[in-house]
Structures are given as structure tokens and as C-alpha cells.
Structure 1
Amino acid sequence: MNQHFDAVVVGTGQAGPSLAERLGKSGRKVAVIERKLVGGTCVNTGCIPTKTMVASAYAAQLARRGEEYGVHHGGSVRVDMAQVWKRTRGISDRSRGNVESWLGGMPNVTLLRGHATFESPRRLRVGDDVIEANEIFLNVGGRAVKPDFPGVDSVPYLTNVGIMDLRELPRHLIIVGGSYIGLEFGQMFRRFGSDVTIVERSERLLPREDPEVSAAIVDILQREGIALHLGAECIELQGCAGDVAIVARCADPRMEVRGTHLLLAVGRRPNTDTLGLDKAGVATDEHGYIVVDDACRTNVPGIWAMGDCNGKGAFTHTSYNDYEIVAANVLDNEPRRISDRIATYALFIDPPLARAGLTEQEALRRGHDVRVGVRPMARVGRAIERGETLGFMKVIVDGRSNQLLGAAILGVNGDEAIHCLLDTMYAKAPYQTVTHAVHIHPTVAELLPTTLQDLRPAGAS
């Protein structure tokens, strides 16, 4: 059956439903196509379920520390993984149901189930149906990379999706990948009660961050008993279910770790390989990401790409911003651009790492007159009161322009406090805007002005 729509949105991740609603309200007849679970990665296998599990892990850790606060529970802490799973799935399922209800109530919008593939720049096939439209918006997300390690096809392993379906606690979880997904799951399962080993190919964790940030995170993880193996090159997988091994033949000395479960967290790839993009003439780069301009337009007029599949950001908040950029350009005659976006993200270990803008090393490479302010969380009243003093605040300023260039807050509530600085950066206001502000006491954010009042040249002790 042939159907014609004014616009088609492929995928229901963070950008898709919001754009569909705007398009429908503009009077367009809109089809939304979803092949799997409404809500995309964030709702089903990403932010919402993982941060729900992080909350359970935090509760377990806080219970263990109860006596530090004068709270006595009279026994050891036991984590019921089946209950953790039930709570996680309940929150995720409710979120997906909310998105489905929202889509169902949108004017001029029809939800179609199935896998979409291009037959031409204006025609998509979904099962036996052919969908035609003048405007097509791709929001197809990504998935975990399957690395080319020897043994990957014979040794059982988990991805970020499968590990959240565990109902029993692994005795020893080995994680390959020392970036955001690997570190969050590593600390989480250590707090649940598993032995955890993290294997990373780079010489340090999070190599894109400044060295002192990486070192502080190593300290945080090792304090909790997580084993780390860095510089693990030439990785090979061995073993069978319940008895798996990682061998790094090029490590010095040669490294071998044995455990009961294996999580591979070595990156993600876009879901573009089965869209038939060649039949539409849509260009992709060498990694499969759809090539877009500053307004998310592809090389084919009338086709846009948003979210993880365009390679311009790998976060829910960047996907949503892609929707805002597309809606602004298509519907509001407002020339918003991807290049106006300031890089910002968080690593949700405990305490979290929040980042905005440039690192110190990036700022130096770009020729800025770098000024740096640092304050340990051990000198932040709110952190002291809560007994959570690990980490530090770091701000980076251009000494010539007085503009904030970037910040890292590794510490309690840093993922919220960072927005004081981020908003100042978007306003292009001088850093003195923050130093002259009056913040609420006692909070973490109240020490940001103090940190900015103690700026020193980069590299100064």
C-alpha cells in the first residue's frame, strides 16, 4: 500500500517525537516510524534505566556508610538484583508508555511500526507499505560496537543493554572499556557487591580529560576496590559462560584477567547501515555517520539527520538540541546552528564529573592566555557536611578576554552546579558575572565565585 505524508520522522529517540509534534501542529501530515521500542536509547537502554541503577548503587553505598552519620542498621548490606531490575524496568517502562501516549495524542501524527529503508530520496519502504514524503527526518540512534577482538564470536559477553537484564549478581565482572559506560557500570556493580576489573587500552582513563581529572577518577574507583588495567593492547577473549578471560598480549607485562561475566563497552556505532542510504544518495563518513551541515541537513535536499546518527554529539541533550535546531530552521525561520553549541556532558559515577567547554590542554593548544582556578571539594562546606569530599572544581578563563573557556567539576552535585558556568558561557559574559553573583549558602555552587577569584596562569603551582 502506498501512503503519502508531508513529513516522515524515522526513529522515536529524544529528537523524533518533539519534532513530530511541531511538524503536526504546523499543519503537516506526519508519519513517525519506529522499528523497535518507542523512546529510543535514553528511555529504554540508556540514561533513564542506567541512572535508576546508579541510584540503587548509591543507596547501597550510603547504607554501608551509615555509621559515619550515626545511623546503625545492625547488619551487612545485601543487594537484591531482582528488585533492582524490577525497579529499573518499571521506571523505564513508564517513561516509554508516556512517550507512546504523547505520540498517540499528537494532531496530524501517525505512528507506524516497522523498519524503514529508502527506495529513493522521497520514498521509504516499511514492510509491505511504501511511504512517500517531501521531508524526511532521520533520528535512528546508535548501538554498541562489536569489536574485532579474537574470540569475540565464541566467548559470551554483555553490552550496555544485556547487563541491565541481569537478575543475579556477577561474582566477578570484567569490563573492557574505561570510558563513560564502562566506568558507570563498574562502580555500580562494585557497589552492588561484585568484584570488578576494568581493562582499558589507553594509558589512562578518559584520555580526553585533563590528566588530574583522570588521576582523581582512578583514585575514586580504586578506593572502592575496583581493579584497573591500563595500556592493555592486543586484547583477546577466552573462556566460556561463567569463566571468561581477557588476555592483553601486548601489555608490559602480559596481562590476563579471569572472571564470571564480561561487559564490552568499547564504543558505539550509528544505526545507519540498514537504512538503504545509498538509494537516497545520502552521504556518510567512514564510520557510518550521516554527514550533515550546521543545521542538520544532509547532502540531499529534504532529508535531515538528528541525534547519534549524525556524529555531532552522543548525548540525549545534544539530540534534543538537534531537534531544536531543525525546528528553528524549518519552521521558525531562525538560523540556529550546531556550531553554536558548547560541549557539555557528565560522567555519572559517584561523585559525578561534569564538564563544559574546553579542557586546560585544549585551551592551551588553541593559543588562549589560560588562567586556571582550582578548589578541592574538601574545602566546600556542602561536601564536608555530607561527608562526600572527593574531587575538585576547576575553571578555565582567557586572561585577555575574561571569558570562561571551560570547567570541570568532579564532586558532589557538580552535575547541577556546572550550569552556573555554562549559562555564563552562552551569554558570553565575563567571568566576573559569576564572581559578583550572590549564591545560596550552603551549596556547592556558592564556591564557584571563590574558585574564579583565585585564578593563576596555567602550569603555576
Structure 2
Amino acid sequence: MASSPQHYDFLILGSGESGKYLAWTMARAGHRVAVIERRWIGGSCPNIACLPSKNVIYSAQVASLVRRGKEFGIAAGPVGIDMAGVRERKRTMVNELIAIHRNNYTNSGAELIMGEGRFIAPKTIEVQLQDGGTRVLSGELVYLNLGTRAAIPDVPGLHQSTPLTHVEALELDRVPEHLIVLGGGYVGLEFAQPMRRFGSRVTVVEQGPQLAGHEDPDVAQLLMRRFADEGIVVELNARPSRVEGRSGDKVRCHVQTAAGDKVIEGSDILVAAGRTPNTQAIGLDVAGVNLDARGYVQVNERLETSAPGVWAMGDCAGSPQFTHVAFDDFRVVRDNLAGGQRTTRDRLVPYCMFTDPELGRVGLNETAARRAGIAYRVARTPMAAVLRTRTLSETGGFLKALVAADSDRLLGFTALGVSGGEVIAVVQTAMLAGLPYTALRDTIFTHPTIAEGLTVLFANPPATPAAAAH
């Protein structure tokens, strides 16, 4: 160990969304800042997650639109898929994003150190440098921005099959002949549909009773119908029991179902079964940082850990696993450093699943409201009633809002349809402002837009669900 560690005002382990913005902000304010990153400059989002996956999803959407050319009066021949070209488009975007990140480090004055960091004492990290050698760094204030990684379930033979995760799936230069997707959550669904559109046979294996398990049944049912229409096979209530073979060659996935055991044979297997935090084997016990039962860093509502002068941000702190939440974690820390009283309590977190149709949701859905015993009314309209969808030939889906039973307060909103992830921002803003649903009903929205559908949605008073009616 070096006799005298290099000391920084801010020492940040991990360059994900929270860490990089904190680094750039504090360095520009004149502080000495170092960020330790072992691989992904800027974190998962620009490299292996949000942005590259949406890039590939859009390539698949273009392929789908070309196949539908006749519907739009466009004469088009057979669609040929060049997966190496799809990958190159994605890689070009990622490289451009990395260059932007490097420039931000240079321009802000924050030092980016590429290597593997491990605590060797409180607030002191030894870094095995990527280019060889070691450095020992200490920080007046230390921030953990460790992220998460794809979890590989403990299914016999699965590890040995070298399955794809989202990381490897985004680097494919070929179309899998038959892709088996383990998991029917948003990651699994966001990969299953584009791979089908590229030409793969696709089977989704979901342990639960529906796709998108956190969503209302009407959302899951519509997604099931769309997947079936596109030729995607979905096995519900199906538990993988054993995997044989090697992904990329030939795999056999044994699953247990209510109808008995079955074997699904495919060429590749993709694991999309949740996340696990990157908190192990980095000396957090030496740092005095406590973990919870699931391995996430224990934090309070100000993101402070059990160790004095140490914070955790983003996925590793148990925050909702979205880049936009990690960015807000940065804002919580930044504002509190300036003397504020900002916390993570009662945040209104929106999210979007980039399937086709797109799913956007903010606030409560019916499932969550019932579970919490919250009385509500429902406003609902099919996307076909939103005239913009007819100009796009994208009429599938619906808009649905939950309104309090005893007032006109908005409790939540679901948009399953074209631009669903965009229109939720309007309702989220109204919820944050405390506006009643009638304010959206009476707003003059541009015609023809998807947002105009909110006036259609709220044209009639929300109704009490039949199951809850007295």
C-alpha cells in the first residue's frame, strides 16, 4: 500500500448517471474530483442498456414498417436483415456518446481513472489500473455509484450454457435462429419483439401468470395478443428446471408448467430475469458500509450510508432502476451539499417500456391501488379514438387514468400505444402541480397529436370500477 494516498475532495466509485453528473458539477465548482470506472465510461445507459437497446429496437421497427409497406401505399420487396449493420449503427452511437463523456471529463476538470477499485480502509480505495499498476486514493467525501448487472438464475446447466444477457445480445452480428427468452418483464419483452422482427423464432418463458407482471391484466393481455400476432410464443407459469447445450449453437430448456414438463429447443438463450447489485468483493465491509438482505447498499432518504462521509446513488442504493431516477439521486446529493433538504421520499417516478405498442406509466395502476386499498375511479379510451393514431395506422392500445374516488385528483396514468412514453409526461406534470383531471379535460391541445387524446379520455366523468361498486 502506498504510504500516502492521493487525496481528493470528491472520490466517486462508478461513472454511471449519478456519479458522472456529480463529478462534472463539483469539478466545475473548483473541487478536486476523481471518478474510478472499471469498464463503461458513463455507466450502463449509454453503453449496454437504455440507449443502445432503443437504437436496436428502432432498427427492428423500421424492418417492421418496411414489411407493412403495402399498407402505406409503398411498394417494397423482401426485407433483408443485416445484423452486422444493425450492430454498427448501435456502435457508432455508443462511440459518439463515449466521446461526449470524455470531453465532459476533460472540460470539467474531473479526473477519470480506468481501473478496478476496492476499499482498503474507510474512505480509501486501491485501484488496479486498466493499463497496469496501482493507485491508492482517498476522499474527503466518497460516493458509491456501483450499478447492477443481469442476474443469472440458479438453474442447473444455465451458467454452463453461456447464456446471452442484454450485454451480449446487443453485440449480435447474426439473427438467432430460435431465441429463448427467460423472463417476461420489460427487458425480456424489449428484446423478444425486435429479435422476432429481425427474423428469429422467439419463445418467452415467464414464471408468472402474465407478461409484464407489475402491470394491470389489460396491459398484459394486449401485449400477449400483439406478441401472438407477430408469431412470438409465450409460455406463462413456466419455471425453467434445467438447461442443456450451449447458447449460440443448440440449447434445450426444460420447463415445468401446469400442463406438465416440456422441452423448448432453440439456438440461443437470453436471460432477462432481474438484476443483482455490484456490491460484492469491493471491500464495503472495510469501508463500514452496510448492505441490506438483497445486497444493496443501505441508505437513508438523503442517500447517506452507514459510513460517515459516504453516500450511495443509483441502482446500488436500491433506487428504482431507471436512468432518470439515478439522475434525480444526483440532484438530491447536489442540493443537500448546498445546504438543501432534498430527499428521495415520495418521488413520482414515471417509466416506459419500449415495446410496440409502447407502454408508459406514472403513479398508481389498478393493481397497485387495490393492493393499497385506495378507492378510485377510472377513465379509459381506446387509442383508436385518438385521431393521430389513424394517420399513423397505429390504433392499438388504450389510455387509462385513475382518479380519486372522493375528488378529481389524478392518482395514476397508463398509456399503452404509439408515443405512450411521451404522453405520460403531460399527466405527470399535472400530477406534480396538483391539478384535477378536469384541467386536462379542458386544455386546448394541438390537433392532431397523441396528447389531444387526453381530452377524449376525460370527456366523460371517470367511473367506479364494477368490482368496487356498491
2-structure distance, mates of 1:376, 1:453: 13
- One-letter code of the match for 1:400? D
Checking the alignment, whether the CA contact within 8 Å between 1:356 and 1:406 is kept in structure 2 is yes
- Alignment-derived partner of residue 192 in structure 2: 186
- Work out which of the residue numbers 79, 85, 88 in structure 2 matches 1:86: 88
How far 1:250 moved relative to its partner? 4.8
- Work out which of the residue numbers 175, 178, 191 in structure 2 matches 1:172: 178
- Which stretch shows the higher mean deviation, 54-63 or 397-406? 397-406
Instruction: Write the mapping of 1:207-356 to structure 2, written as runs, cut at 5 A.
Output: 207-240=213-246, 241-331=248-338, 333-356=339-362
- Alignment-derived partner of residue 16 in structure 1: 19
Residue deviations 1:254-276 (CA, integer Å, cap 9, x gap): 22110111111111111111221
- One-letter code of the match for 1:160? H
**Residue 245 of structure 1: SS of its match in structure 2?**
strand
- Alignment-derived partner of residue 384 in structure 1: 390
- One-letter code of the match for 1:155? S
How far 1:181 moved relative to its partner? 0.9
- Alignment-derived partner of residue 42 in structure 1: 45
* Residue 461 (structure 2) pairs with residue 452 (structure 1): no
2-structure distance, mates of 1:19, 1:57: 35
- Alignment-derived partner of residue 122 in structure 1: 123
- One-letter code of the match for 1:78? G
Checking the alignment, whether the CA contact within 8 Å between 2:385 and 2:456 is kept in structure 1 is no
2-structure distance, mates of 1:401, 1:8: 48
How far 1:360 moved relative to its partner? 1.1
Checking the alignment, whether the CA contact within 8 Å between 1:124 and 1:131 is kept in structure 2 is yes
How far 1:234 moved relative to its partner? 4.6
**Residue 161 of structure 1: SS of its match in structure 2?**
helix
**Residue 244 of structure 1: SS of its match in structure 2?**
strand
Residue deviations 1:211-241 (CA, integer Å, cap 9, x gap): 1111111111111110000111252111235
Checking the alignment, whether the CA contact within 8 Å between 1:289 and 1:310 is kept in structure 2 is yes
How far 1:200 moved relative to its partner? 0.6
1-structure distance, mates of 2:340, 2:443: 32
Checking the alignment, whether the CA contact within 8 Å between 1:294 and 1:338 is kept in structure 2 is yes
Checking the alignment, whether the CA contact within 8 Å between 1:234 and 1:250 is kept in structure 2 is no
Residue deviations 1:356-405 (CA, integer Å, cap 9, x gap): 01111222333333010111112111111110111110100103232111
How far 1:452 moved relative to its partner? 2.2
Q: Which runs of 5+ in 2 are unaligned?
A: 129-133
Residue deviations 1:256-297 (CA, integer Å, cap 9, x gap): 110111111111111111221100111111111111111111
CA RMSD of superposed structures (Å): 1.4
Checking the alignment, whether the CA contact within 8 Å between 1:233 and 1:251 is kept in structure 2 is no
2-structure distance, mates of 1:319, 1:49: 18
- Work out which of the residue numbers 24, 29, 32 in structure 2 matches 1:26: 29
TM-score of the superposed pair, with normalisation by structure 2: 0.95
How far 1:251 moved relative to its partner? 4.0
**Residue 457 of structure 1: SS of its match in structure 2?**
coil
**Residue 103 of structure 1: SS of its match in structure 2?**
helix
Checking the alignment, whether the CA contact within 8 Å between 2:386 and 2:456 is kept in structure 1 is no
Instruction: Write the mapping of 1:401-412 to structure 2, written as runs, cut at 5 A.
Output: 401-412=407-418
How far 1:432 moved relative to its partner? 1.8
- One-letter code of the match for 1:397? V
1-structure distance, mates of 2:142, 2:162: 39
Q: How many residues align?
A: 458
- One-letter code of the match for 1:273? Q
Structure 1's consecutive aligned runs of 4 or more residues displaced over 6 angstroms after TM superposition are none
**Residue 23 of structure 1: SS of its match in structure 2?**
helix
2-structure distance, mates of 1:30, 1:153: 39
* Residue 63 (structure 2) pairs with residue 60 (structure 1): yes
**Residue 166 of structure 2: SS of its match in structure 1?**
coil
Percent of aligned positions that are identical: 38
Distance 1:185 1:234, change over 3 A: closer
1-structure distance, mates of 2:251, 2:370: 43
How far 1:420 moved relative to its partner? 0.6
How far 1:148 moved relative to its partner? 0.3
* Residue 142 (structure 2) pairs with residue 136 (structure 1): yes
Checking the alignment, whether the CA contact within 8 Å between 1:232 and 1:255 is kept in structure 2 is no
TM-score of the superposed pair, with normalisation by structure 1: 0.97
How far 1:134 moved relative to its partner? 1.5
- One-letter code of the match for 1:239? G
2-structure distance, mates of 1:267, 1:336: 29
How far 1:26 moved relative to its partner? 3.0
Checking the alignment, whether the CA contact within 8 Å between 2:205 and 2:239 is kept in structure 1 is no
How far 1:71 moved relative to its partner? 0.6
- One-letter code of the match for 2:281? T
- Work out which of the residue numbers 3, 7, 10 in structure 1 matches 2:6: 3
- One-letter code of the match for 1:115? E
Q: Which runs of 5+ in 1 are unaligned?
A: none
**Residue 174 of structure 1: SS of its match in structure 2?**
strand
